[in-house]
Chains A and B, each alone.
Chain A
Amino acid sequence: MVEKPKSASSARVITVTSGKGGVGKTTTTANLGVALARMNLKVVLIDADIGLRNLDIVMGLENRIVYDLVDVVEGRCKLRQAMIKHKQFPDLYLIPAAQTRDKTAVSPQDMINICNQLRPDYDYVIIDSPAGIERGFRNAVAPADEVLVVTNPEVSAVRDADRIVGLLEAENKGPGKLIINRLKPDMVKKGEMMSAEDVHEILAIKIIGIVPEDENVVPASNSGIPVTLNEGSRAGVAFRNIARRLNGEDVPFLPLDDNQGLFARISRFLSGGD
């Protein structure tokens, strides 16, 4: 396929990955999509999992699926036909995952082709990677201009994130940027959870966001309304801040508790770290 020349307003393709499952990739993808759309940007979200659909239900779009990613790849529909427009944000679209069990249905080149078709007309393409390090992960990062690595401050998640960081470097997609999700400041204060500083020291990549544990997140998925749209949610604020940072704004990190010292230390080392 002949690549279209990139226009001046070519989309940034961003892949959200983690290694470990269940750390918040889909929640992050959905919320970043909505946050960017709220900023009047044109966004396409792609659920790159093969066989397990998640992004659609978290976004409340599960009843609107007609075509999916594999239909596009196998030529059963045009790309446009698989793009579900969001009810609230007309410039926010979702391309849902297929429910086939054939992991080879999509190739890295297919993903690159699809993203190249989207680049001229949108500001962001955000790809929700599956968990793991096999084909699905490679498909998801193949077209990426940048990669966001989501982790939790917990041993398995950080170990897997480290593996991902290494793989990204090997595939020339590094360094990724880190999102530390589900941090519980009270547990950190008691010494029962790794702090953002601890995770940053171990993984040694720049942090783009720290999202606190927030009981508003599950009700948000339950209702299909991403938590970013809940003004009272701290996780929502964190996701909106990540969107702003992606867009080039210098947004200070949320104070994780009322301890000014902790906040000041985090701000200082995070702005200096890379």
Chain B
Amino acid sequence: MTSFIDRVFGRHHKGTGTMAKERLQVVLIHDRFNLPPEKMRAMKEEIMAVISKYVEIDRDSVDIALEQRDRNSSRIRAEIPFNPGKRVHDPDEDVPDFVTASNSEPRKDDT
């Protein structure tokens, strides 16, 4: 049932019945939890803001999605890559003891 053009471009004909089912499965997750795309975006921004207070995240690689196995079990899955090397400086944080201890003696290679 694929048209000639479809075959030329290697597109397989996905029946619209299957399209309907797939679209419904996506939209219903949002409908069921009152989390339409705009609310999901707002939630995602807030989650990233909170995580960013603790680690430096790679915003472009963040993936936060609703998953539902069945009507009674659902979850928010968040994958938030962050850069472990850089600590985010928190001005309210006390400077740890080992830093102040080493400052009391001159370092050997400071000469």
Measuring CB to CB, which residues of chain A are less than 8 angstroms from any residue of chain B?
Answer: 153-155, 158-159, 162-163, 165-166, 187-188, 190-195, 198, 201-202, 204
User: Judging by beta carbons under 8 Å apart, are A191 and B16 in contact?
Assistant: yes
Measuring CB to CB, which residues of chain B are less than 8 angstroms from any residue of chain A?
Answer: 1, 13, 15-18, 20-21, 23-25, 27-28, 31-32, 70-71
Pick the contact of A155 from B13, B18, B23, B32 — CB < 8 Å? B23
How many residue-residue contacts, CB under 8 A, span A and B? 46
Whether A192 touches B16, Cβ cut-off 8 Å, given contacts A198-B21, A204-B70, A204-B71, is: yes
Whether A193 touches B17, Cβ cut-off 8 Å, given contacts A155-B24, A202-B24, is: yes
User: What chain A residues lie within 8 Å of B24 (beta carbons)?
Assistant: 155, 158-159, 162, 202
**Whole-angstrom CA separation of A117 from B50 in the bound complex:** 58
Pick the contact of B21 from A162, A187, A190, A202 — CB < 8 Å? A202
User: What chain B residues lie within 8 Å of A187 (beta carbons)?
Assistant: 17
**Whole-angstrom CA separation of A153 from B17 in the bound complex:** 9
User: What chain A residues lie within 8 Å of B32 (beta carbons)?
Assistant: 162, 166
User: Judging by beta carbons under 8 Å apart, are A188 and B20 in contact?
Assistant: no
User: Judging by beta carbons under 8 Å apart, are B17 and A191 in contact?
Assistant: yes
Which residue on B lies nearest to A201, using beta carbons?
A: B21
**Whole-angstrom CA separation of A204 from B1 in the bound complex:** 31
